[in-house]
Amino acid sequence: MWLRKSSDGNIPWDKLPFGRQLQPLQSRAHCAADVYLLSRFLELASLYDTPSDIDDESIKLLLRVLRFLHLCDYSAVDICSILAHASVYFGHVYEVCGAQMDADEVGNVLATLIFIAHCYVQDETCPVHVWHKHIFRDYCPLNTLNAAVVRLLQIRGYVLRLDDEALDERFNALLQATQLPESVRAAVAETANTEAMISAEAPSSEAGWTQGFLSEIEFLGGKTGAWPCTARPA
């Protein structure tokens, strides 16, 4: 369930982080809640509200990613959990290669990290070639996307699980940004906490998961090329 706002006047663009960039692109949002959600996600990724940190093309790409997740029928809790993970992953990646990351490349990296996070968080996922077809086709060939995924996993040390406290804080911040009614947010948060407890009690199989994931990536396109900022030094 997502709260949709019917008019531009309902969104306080001047008070919304990244509002100046989001307002001209609002028609590209699947729903008004996505405007708030993307604003909060970019904040959690520790980006500054300036075109020098993230450009309009990156904003367009991320709005397309959110629309894609909606059309894949992921719920509010699903999308907020995916974005919470991706925001942490981005912080780590930025520490490693942020100095080489241009504003137009930030969107590519964030979108790829959202793909990785969705593969980790969700039981039912969309294959990388489907993401490429709908999200990345105009930006890079499939083998470049595959290489970027592998490199980003390497930067993370193939560890995708997050500390519960950090995850909960980000998840709740994103869920609040969706503008869902308080009663709905409380019910969603309770469901998320239950799922987290079940996940924590389950035996860890991250090493096996990443090995299978890498096998699929390599089969689909091979490891050639990468985003410039994530390319392995010569």
How confident is the model over 63-122, as pLDDT tens digits? Answer: 999 999 999 999 989 999 999 999 999 999 999 988 788 888 899 999 999 999 999 999
Question: Phi and psi of 18, rounded to 5°?
Answer: 70, 15
Per-residue pLDDT at 203 exceeds 80: no
Residue 222 to residue 77: CA distance in whole angstroms: 33
Name the amino acid, one letter, at 58.
Answer: S
Helix axes 76-97, 32-44, angle to 10 degrees: 30
Per-residue pLDDT, 181 = 47
Per-residue pLDDT, 185 = 46
Average pLDDT rounded to a whole number, residues 16-41: 93
Q: What DSSP string describes 38-67?
A: HHHHHHHTT--SSTTTS-HHHHHHHHHHHH
Confidence tier at 232 by pLDDT (50, 70, 90) = very low
Per-residue pLDDT at 62 exceeds 60: yes
Per-chain mean pLDDT for the chain: 80
Per-residue pLDDT, 4 = 44
Nearest to 90 by CA among 69, 76, 72, 106: 106
Determine what percent of the chain is predicted with pLDDT higher than 90.
Answer: 58
Question: Phi and psi of 13, rounded to 5°?
Answer: -60, -35
Structure tokens at 222: 């091979």
